[in-house]
Structure 1
């Protein structure tokens, strides 16, 4: 754990400056962003032309491809494209040489979906009421067709029109 955890982190700067393993597979070719202990993690994946299979991740994982391309099952992500790999979903993967991606994982018992879900960056955003809250709150914005539960899932991020909820929303939001 880092001794100085900041509330906002430039993930592209982290990706540009992080040391990456020389080789590895989807689970091991990673460099972790130092964060406080908890169910959320952020890793830089450095998949240099590799391929393999994974029997299922321990949590929902939001993947943003920064460079190269990454095939997850039947979904191919080019640079700046993103998808969610739900907990426990087995998948094959293949990466182009020089592929770099950010992977944000939230360890959770119940997966958000039963298959890999590409994020439609052009989808209309809709407001969904937060658990115990009211429709229209800014912390309840999620894209369609992928709808996250508003119950402490994900890390807050804003990428190409995608907002995920902070697991700390209840602690930070007014009652």
Structure 2
């Protein structure tokens, strides 16, 4: 059983979980979620096929291999958001593994695919709250790529200078792929996990962990943060 109080190493999990190559819609391994508001899955597509439109925005990230949606091709380390209402033809090379984050979208923006560009120009963004920090406040930059599902679902590119943060509970599900740098987390049980450039991982709602980065970190992120009642 997966320990959802720790960061999940998605590449390692995709290589060890019971997942068999097949159709994009059915070759899937569901990760535990806090509720039915979001679906988090590993996908093992192979060959080619067609996916009908669904009433959900879906963030797809290529953990290994190559995956194409119509005229958008994603290699390992690349991701895109597929808008609700988008039907597409797909193809995948042998050994392709995807991470998928899916959230129902009632206010559809129209069919299409939003690709995340790691080279995009970023702008200064708000740092973590001062009460969470241990030491200096980092300089942060970001380039949001989308925000949808009543503002609950968003993603893009983010970077920060070195900083340390206290243990705080996550009120969102967050996918991260490190483009640059290294970060260590310590969870409530005292376990330390370290991720480096090229690693993809997931921290789910309810987990509590610290953050320590001793160098500049740059990442792709995908977040589902439900609206508080």
TM-score range, shorter chain: 0.7 to 0.9
Q: TM-score, normalised by structure 1?
A: 0.75
List runs of 5+ in structure 2 lacking aligned partners.
130-140, 155-172, 180-218
Deviation, 1:105, is 1.1
Deviation, 1:32, is 0.7
Q: Secondary structure at the match of 1:63?
A: strand
1:158 paired with 2:158, answer: no
**Poorly superposed stretches of 4+, deviation over 4 Å:** 168-171
Q: Which has the higher contact order (CA 8 A, sep 6+)?
A: 2
Which residue is equivalent to 2:121?
124
Q: Secondary structure at the match of 1:156?
A: strand
Higher radius of gyration, 1 or 2: 2
Which residue is equivalent to 1:167?
225
Q: Contact 2:59–2:222 at 8 Å: present in 1 too?
A: no
List runs of 5+ in structure 1 lacking aligned partners.
128-134
Q: Contact 2:56–2:102 at 8 Å: present in 1 too?
A: yes
Deviation, 1:95, is 0.7
Q: Contact 1:156–1:165 at 8 Å: present in 2 too?
A: yes
Structure-1 separation of matches of 2:36 and 2:51: 23
Deviation, 1:108, is 2.1
Deviation, 1:153, is 1.5
Q: Contact 1:85–1:116 at 8 Å: present in 2 too?
A: yes
CA separation of 1:58/1:14 partners in 2, compared to 1, >3 Å: closer, same or farther?
farther
Which residue is equivalent to 2:112?
115
Q: Contact 2:21–2:45 at 8 Å: present in 1 too?
A: no
Which residue is equivalent to 1:96?
93
Superposed CA offset, 1:101-136 (max 9, x none): 111112221245631111101112336xxxxxxx73
Structure-1 separation of matches of 2:9 and 2:107: 29
CA separation of 1:68/1:59 partners in 2, compared to 1, >3 Å: closer, same or farther?
same
Paired residues, number: 160
Structure-1 separation of matches of 2:35 and 2:78: 28
Q: Contact 1:143–1:162 at 8 Å: present in 2 too?
A: no
Which residue is equivalent to 1:136?
126
